[in-house]
Amino acid sequence: MELFSYCVNGLVKRKTLVLDLDETLIHSHHDGVQRQTVRPGTPPDFVLRVTIDQHPIRFFVHKRPHVDFFLECVSQWYDLVVFTASMEIYGAAVADNLDRNRGILNRRYFRQHCTLELGCYTKDLSIVNEDLSSVFILDNSPGAYRYNPDNAIPIKSWFADPSDTALLNLLPMLDALRFVSDVRSILSRNLHLHSLW
C-alpha cells in the first residue's frame, strides 16, 4: 500500500478545480428585483452591500445546499480557483463569504478576465493553468467554457431548490478524477451533457 501511494503521489500532480459562483455555488438577487426566484420569506445566507457606479446595492445571497461541505472536501484534493463573469466588487465579496477565512479561495478571476463573445462571457482556462491536462471547471453555463469543453463538468443551474444534491453527487467523481493523468481523458466523454441545461 505504501508503494502504491508513493507512485500516485509521485506521478500525478495536484490539479486545479475552477469554480463558477452564480447559479453554481450560490444564487443571489438584489434590491429592486421584480421577480425573485427564491421563495418569499426564505432568509438569505448573507447580505452583501456593494457600491456600483456610485449606487449602493444590497445583494441577498443564498448558498447552494451542501456548498460548505463540498468546499471543505474538494479543497483537500485540489487547488481551488474562483472564475466568475460577475464584477469583481461583487464576486470578491461572495468568495470571501464562502471562504470564511480558510484561505482556500485565494485565486480569483472576474469579468475583466473573461472574453465577451456572442453576448456571452467566456472563460479561457489557459490563463488559470497553462497545463490543460490538470485544470477543469465546474460551471452551469456551457457558453462560459466554450473554449475548453473537454475541461468542464456541467452542473444544473441552481436558484432555490432546498433539496438539491448536485454538489454532493459530484464528490465521488471528483475524488477519483484527481488520480488521472489528464482530466480531458475522462471529461471529454461528458460532452453530450453540456447542452441539457
E-assigned strand segments in 54-186: 55-63, 79-83, 107-109, 115-117, 120-122, 135-139, 152-154
Of 22, 96, 99, 164, which is the active-site residue?
A: 22
Confirm if 134 and 180 have CB atoms less than 8 A apart: no
Phi, psi (5° rounding) for residue 140?
A: -90, -5
Residue 131 designated active-site:
no
* Catalytically annotated residue among 20, 68, 131, 182: 20
Residue 31 appears among annotated catalytic residues: no
Which residues have CB under 8 Å from 34's CB, separation 6+? none
Would you please indicate which residues are annotated as catalytic (active-site) residues? 20, 22
